[in-house]
Amino acid sequence: MPLRIGNGCGFWGDNLDAPILLAKDGNLDYLTLEYLAELTMSILAVQKQRDPEAGFASDFLDVLDRLVPILKDQPRPKIITNAGGMNPQACARKAASILAKAGLARRVATVSGDDLLPHLDDLLRAGHPLTNLDTGDTLETIRPQVVSANAYLGARPIVDALAKGADVVITGRIADASLTVGPLVHELQWPWDDWRRLSAATVAGHLIECGAQATGGLWCNYSEAIDLANVGYPIVEVEPDGRFTITKPPNTGGAVNVETVAEQLLYEVGDPAAYLTPDVVADFTSVQLTQSGADRVQVVTGNGKPATATYKVSIAYRNGYSASGMLVLIGPDAADKARLCGEIIRERLRRVGLELANFNVETIGKGACVPDVLASAPEPAEVVLRVTVRDPRRAAVERFTKEFAPLVTSGPPGVTGYTTGRPPVREVFAYWPALLKKTEVVPNVEVIST
**337, 414 in Cβ contact below 8 A?**
yes
Where in the sequence is the domain holding 280, given as residue range(s)? 3-114+152-308
Last residue of a domain, one of 246, 275, 308: 308
For residue 406, what are the contacts with CB-CB under 8 A and spacing of at least 6?
348
H or E element at residue 38: helix 38-50
Under DSSP, the state recorded for 96 is H
Considering the domain architecture, whether residues 219 and 338 belong to the same structural domain is answered as no
Residue among 147, 3, 194 at smallest CA distance from 80 = 3
Considering the domain architecture, whether residues 327 and 223 belong to the same structural domain is answered as no
**288, 300 in Cβ contact below 8 A?**
yes
> Is residue 142 in some structural domain?
no
Considering the domain architecture, whether residues 202 and 60 belong to the same structural domain is answered as yes
pLDDT on residue 418: 82
| Alpha-carbon gap, residue 281 to 278, rounded angstroms | 8
> Is residue 265 in some structural domain?
yes
Considering the domain architecture, whether residues 254 and 399 belong to the same structural domain is answered as no
Residue 68: pLDDT over 70 = yes
Considering the domain architecture, whether residues 99 and 158 belong to the same structural domain is answered as yes
Considering the domain architecture, whether residues 61 and 176 belong to the same structural domain is answered as yes
Measure Cα distances from 21 to 28, 232, 248 in Å. Answer: 11, 8, 11
pLDDT tens figures, 29-66: 999 999 998 889 989 999 998 999 999 999 999 999 99
| Alpha-carbon gap, residue 364 to 152, rounded angstroms | 37
Residue 450: pLDDT over 70 = no
pLDDT on residue 258: 98
pLDDT on residue 324: 97
pLDDT tens figures, 111-145: 999 999 999 999 999 999 999 999 999 999 999 99
Average pLDDT over residues 15-19: 96
Considering the domain architecture, whether residues 19 and 55 belong to the same structural domain is answered as yes
User: CATH number, domain at 353?
Assistant: 3.30.70
> Is residue 44 in some structural domain?
yes
Q: Which residue has the higher pLDDT, 434 or 302?
A: 434
Helix (H, G, I), strand (E, B) or coil at 256: coil
Considering the domain architecture, whether residues 297 and 357 belong to the same structural domain is answered as no
Last residue of a domain, one of 288, 308, 328: 308
| Alpha-carbon gap, residue 389 to 411, rounded angstroms | 20
Chain-wide mean pLDDT for the chain?
96
Considering the domain architecture, whether residues 188 and 68 belong to the same structural domain is answered as yes
> Is residue 134 in some structural domain?
no
> Is residue 444 in some structural domain?
no
Percent of the chain with pLDDT over 70: 99
> Is residue 140 in some structural domain?
no
Q: Which residue has the higher pLDDT, 418 or 431?
A: 431
pLDDT on residue 417: 86
For residue 300, what are the contacts with CB-CB under 8 A and spacing of at least 6?
243, 287, 288, 290
**93, 46 in Cβ contact below 8 A?**
no
Q: Is the dihedral of CA 218, 178, 287, 77 positive or negative?
A: negative
Considering the domain architecture, whether residues 283 and 403 belong to the same structural domain is answered as no
Give the pairing of strands 444-449 and 107-112.
Answer: antiparallel
> Is residue 259 in some structural domain?
yes
pLDDT tens figures, 173-227: 999 999 999 999 999 999 999 999 999 999 999 999 999 999 999 999 999 999 9
Counting every residue written for the chain, the total comes to 450
Considering the domain architecture, whether residues 414 and 384 belong to the same structural domain is answered as yes
**45, 39 in Cβ contact below 8 A?**
no
| Alpha-carbon gap, residue 3 to 25, rounded angstroms | 15
C-alpha 130: how far from its chain's center? Answer: 22
Give the residues across from 245 on adjacent strands: 237, 298
H or E element at residue 181: helix 178-188
Considering the domain architecture, whether residues 82 and 209 belong to the same structural domain is answered as yes
**398, 390 in Cβ contact below 8 A?**
no
Helix (H, G, I), strand (E, B) or coil at 133: coil
pLDDT tens figures, 366-411: 888 888 787 766 789 999 999 999 999 999 999 999 999 999 999 9
Last residue of a domain, one of 282, 308, 334: 308
Residue among 338, 343, 323 at smallest CA distance from 402 = 323
C-alpha 241: how far from its chain's center? Answer: 30
**What's the pTM?**
0.94
> Is residue 313 in some structural domain?
no
Q: How many domains does the chain have?
A: 2
| Alpha-carbon gap, residue 397 to 147, rounded angstroms | 22
Residue among 39, 22, 40 at smallest CA distance from 31 = 22
